[in-house]
Amino acid sequence: MGFVRLFLFGLAFLTVIYVMISLYSRSVRKENLENEWDAAPDSDAPGARDAFIDNGMAEYRGSLRRRLILLVYVVPIVVVGFILYGVN
């Protein structure tokens, strides 16, 4: 029972870390898109900047970088699994 509780608390902790990294990564990407637009705007039409940022964030949602953040779950579980296997 103690192992299950440890596993659940570990997953909760990893979820908090995942959410924090994900939010940070999204904010950095959005900031880079805003800076890119401010450096060389494509048009002066109202809403063009927002459309540019929305398109960039849509590309981010399908990017490899976003999926790599899921390694926050995989790496610690694999490492703990190898440690448990090696000890036993």
Q: Is 11 within 8 Å of 76 (Cβ atoms)?
A: no
pLDDT in tens, 56-67: 999 998 888 888
pLDDT in tens, 30-85: 999 999 999 988 778 888 999 999 999 999 988 888 889 889 999 999 999 899 89
Q: How many structural domains is the chain composed of?
A: 1
- Cα 15 from Cα 10, distance rounded (Å): 8
**Which range of residues forms the domain containing residue 59?**
2-87
